[in-house]
Chains A and B, each alone.
Chain A
Amino acid sequence: MRLATWTVRLLVAGVFLAAAFGKIADPAAFRDAIGTFHLLPARAGDVLALWLPWLELCAALALFIPKHRPAAVWLLGAMTAAFLVALALAAARGLDIRCGCFGAATTVSGRGYFEYFVRDGLLLAGIGFLVWRERAEERALTPSH
């Protein structure tokens, strides 16, 4: 189980680190990608475009700091879940969006959404596994009375 946990941890961290670096390198492209979802006022999108990639980076790195790991997995889970909700809203409104996930400006529309739902659903499942492992490890370390 330790090997599986570390494998998933490395995969999740790798995905978020790659995502963060792409966005940090080109914040304007990420800001424009956020704009294609039509969910936030323009100014909020600007701030999110500058802040979110650093949160991804910090949370991904914190997966390797035992003290901060529980908070990191919850933050990564919340970010992924929020993205899936935004994706679902965009799909329901029939928008052509740009994911902005790794800094590349690929347009997503129609059936293209499916790939993103699958990909991010798997990512969320991986993070869910890490949450479960964190809780199991915490229980194992808690002295029983």
Chain B
Amino acid sequence: MKPALRRSFGWLLGAATLFAVAHVSVSARARAVLTAELPAGELTAADARAQRGAVLWIDARPRAEFARGHVAGAISLNEDEWESRIADVLQLWEPGRRVIVYCSETGCHASHRVAERLRRDYRLDDVWVLHGGWAAWQKAEAR
């Protein structure tokens, strides 16, 4: 890469970084992006535990992982077994009942996909994803 082009990249990336830092320092809305604890549609294990009983728990992990351990009362519904399992899940749901979906940990996305499908295809509107998944739940239970 030519030195002039490299310098230009440096200028542009540096300017963008400076502007972003300035934006965060002067704008409460921008700061809120960094200080907000959770992405939209997720709740913490602590919040979820406080609601136990009234919640329909859905485990979006593969069946083998579900068999090794799951949230008490959770029902298994993963994408591979969707067609054979969805009817059972819907039978357990009733209007007003909150649904919380989880997978293994923060980096897994199965819970988001299952939650999205429940909202989109079955019009369930009170569907949440457990932030940090099964790992976060186990940590919260150990405390």
Q: Hey, which bits of chain A sit against chain B, CB under 8 A? A: 24, 26-28, 31-32, 35, 38, 41-42, 45-47, 49-51, 54-55, 57-59, 62, 67-68, 70-72, 74-75, 93, 95-96, 109
Contacts and interface: CB of A to CB of B under 8 A. Distances in A.
A135 B131 CA distance: 49
A93 B36 CA distance: 28
Contacts of B4: 67
A91 B16 CA distance: 30
Contact of B16 (A45, A49, A58, A68): A58
A75 B9 contact: yes
B87 interface: no
B20 A38 contact: no
A50 B113 contact: no
11 contacts: A26-B29, A27-B30, A28-B33, A38-B112, A50-B23, A51-B16, A54-B20, A57-B16, A70-B5, A75-B9, A75-B12
Interface of B: 4-5, 8-9, 11-13, 15-17, 19-20, 23-24, 29-30, 32-34, 36, 39-40, 106-107, 109, 112-113, 116, 120
A62 B13 CA distance: 12
Contact of B33 (A49, A55, A75, A93): A49
Given A27-B29, A31-B33, A46-B33, A55 B40 contact: no
A58 B12 contact: yes
Interface of A is mostly: helix
Find the residue from B12, B17, B32, B107 having the highest chain A CB count within 10 A. Answer: B12
B30 A71 contact: no
A95 B33 contact: no
Contacts of A62: 8, 12
B19 A54 contact: yes
B88 to A, nearest CB: 23
